[in-house]
Amino acid sequence: MLFGKKKSVAGLDVGSSSIKMVELDGKVNSLNLVSLGYENLPDNTIVDGQIMELNVVSDVIQSVCSNHQINANQVVTGVSGHSVIIKNIVLPPMSQEELEESIDWHAEEHIPYDLSDVNLDYQVTAETPEATQVLIAACKRERIDNIKQAIQLAGKSPIVIDVDTFALQNCYEINYQPDASQVVTLLNIGASTMNVNIVQGTRSLFTRDITVGGSQFTDVLQRSLGLSFQQAEAVKRGVSEAVEGLEEKSIEPLMSNVTEIVAMEIQKTFDFYRATSEDNETVVQKILISGGGSKLAGLAEDLSARLELPVEVLDPFRNIKVDTRKFDPDYLSEIMPEMAVAVGLAARGVELR
């Protein structure tokens, strides 16, 4: 660009418990962190993925921007959960035009909603003389309208609506630059949703969003020990003095029950993948975890033991230049797990400038 500044685009991750924003610049292989912000949302602002309080979300977006000098007026955001359907489908070989003309018809079979109620997108992921592999993604239109409204109310324009699990994958790709032999499972544990994405190199083999997350651990503590939400959150984060007279030994088995559910759902996802593909050879080498829910003490080790796989923490800033005079490294490493999706969205924003 000869004159003026390039338009900046921020990644905006509207989670059910908090809003995260990241702005990057540079090129896809040499990105710099420009700004980053994070603020919690009040309880019940987002229920079942639906924004119930548009004003609250738009106020928090504005507050994150003003408190963290995020000046971008355009944002890339993501959706996840039940309203999003992602499928890898195998079609006969065909031209771009033939695919474009027939995609609705092929997609209809795989999407449990009326096609007139969803936004549909697709991408050819592999082509051989025998077959065309196509990744289709559909999201309920009402969900997209809902998030767009909140963003517009905050005075920003939503230029791309991505899918959280692909933003997570984008974050992994820019930071780890995997080759085709690497098969990992990306696992983002949020407050209410867990995104699982089995990735080979830069290709997504299978994705599944599961409605289990960090809030399940909090719920169990609340119900079983008769605590308030705040008390249960504090106990979960290891501040057991938060509740007088609480027996330390009563916590562990409760947490372990939920961890078992999390591990079982991941195992089920692996089984679903095997059952729905002809692939009997691909072996997942490790799990890379992210999301606030992954910060639960001992969770990574516990999942690793239960699933018999190495579990590592995904570093969303591994390959991004960070000016430590501007961003406190301790703070950054503290909030790193929560920022993975927002970094992936922000990186997409850089591609669009």
When the beta carbons of 217 and 273 are compared against ligand ATP, the nearer one is 217
First to last CA, the chain: 10
| Site of tokens 């609506």 | 161
Least separation, in Å, of the C-beta of 291 and Mg ion?
6
CB neighbours (10 Å) of residue 56? 16
Q: Which two tokens stand for residue 144?
A: 């997209």
Here the tokens at position 124 are 């050819």
Nearer to ligand ATP, 183 or 187 (CB): 187
* Nearest residue (CB) to Mg ion, 79 versus 135: 79
Is position 284 an interface residue for ligand ATP (rule: CB under 6 A)?
Answer: no
Looking up tokens 């959150």 gives: 233
Closer residue to ligand ATP, CB minimum distance, 79 or 183: 79
Q: Which of 10, 11, 16, 187 binds ligand ATP (CB under 6 A)?
A: 16
Minimum distance between the CB of residue 12 and ligand ATP, rounded to whole angstroms? 12
Which is nearer to ligand ATP, 170 or 193 (by Cβ)? 193
Q: Dihedral, CA atoms, 280, 137, 166, 187, nearest 10 degrees?
A: -50
Residue 236 interacts, among Mg ion, ligand ATP, none and using kind-specific CB cut-offs from 5 to 8 Å, with: ligand ATP
Closest distance to ligand ATP from the beta carbon of 254 (Å): 13
Q: Which is nearer to Mg ion, 190 or 316 (CB)?
A: 190
Place of tokens 């079942």: 48
In what helix (H) or strand (E) does residue 85 lie, and over which residues does it extend?
Answer: strand 84-91
Q: Among Mg ion, ligand ATP, none, what binds residue 296 when CB lies within 5 to 8 Å by partner kind?
A: ligand ATP
Residues 135-194 that bind Mg ion (CB under 5 A): 190
Q: Are 86 and 137 in contact (CB under 8 A)?
A: yes
Beta carbons within 10 angstroms of residue 61's beta carbon = 26
Query: Which spans in 68-226 are helix H?
Result: 96-108, 141-153, 164-176, 214-225
Instruction: Based on the shown chain and the rule CB under 6 A, indicate whether residue 237 belongs to the binding site for ligand ATP.
Output: yes
For residue 143, state whether it binds ligand ATP (rule: CB under 6 A): no
Per DSSP, the chain holds a count of helices (H) and strands (E) of 10, 16
Residue 78 binding target from ligand ATP, Mg ion, none, CB below 5 to 8 Å by type: none
The answer to whether 17 and 191 have CB atoms below 8 angstroms apart is: yes
Per-residue string for binding with ligand ATP, 205-234, x by CB under 6 A?
--------xxx--x--------------x-
Distance CA 114, CA 81 (A): 17
* Phi and psi at residue 108, to the nearest 5°: -50, -40
Stretch that binds ligand ATP, among 14-22, 58-66, 219-227, 249-257 (CB under 6 A): 14-22
* Rounded (5°) CA angle 77-82-88: 85
Binding mask 164-193 for ligand ATP (x = CB under 6 A): --------------------------xxxx
Question: If you search the block for the tokens 């695919």, which residue do you land on?
Answer: 99
Radius of gyration of the chain (CA): 21
Choose between 37 and 214: whose C-beta lies nearer to ligand ATP: 214
Q: Which of 236, 266, 314, 347 binds ligand ATP (CB under 6 A)?
A: 236
Closer residue to ligand ATP in complex, CB, 81/158:
81
Residue 233's φ and ψ, nearest 5 degrees, are -60, -45
Residues that bind ligand ATP (CB under 6 A): 15-18, 190-193, 213-215, 218, 233, 236-237, 291-293, 295-296, 338
Residues that bind Mg ion (CB under 5 A): 15, 190
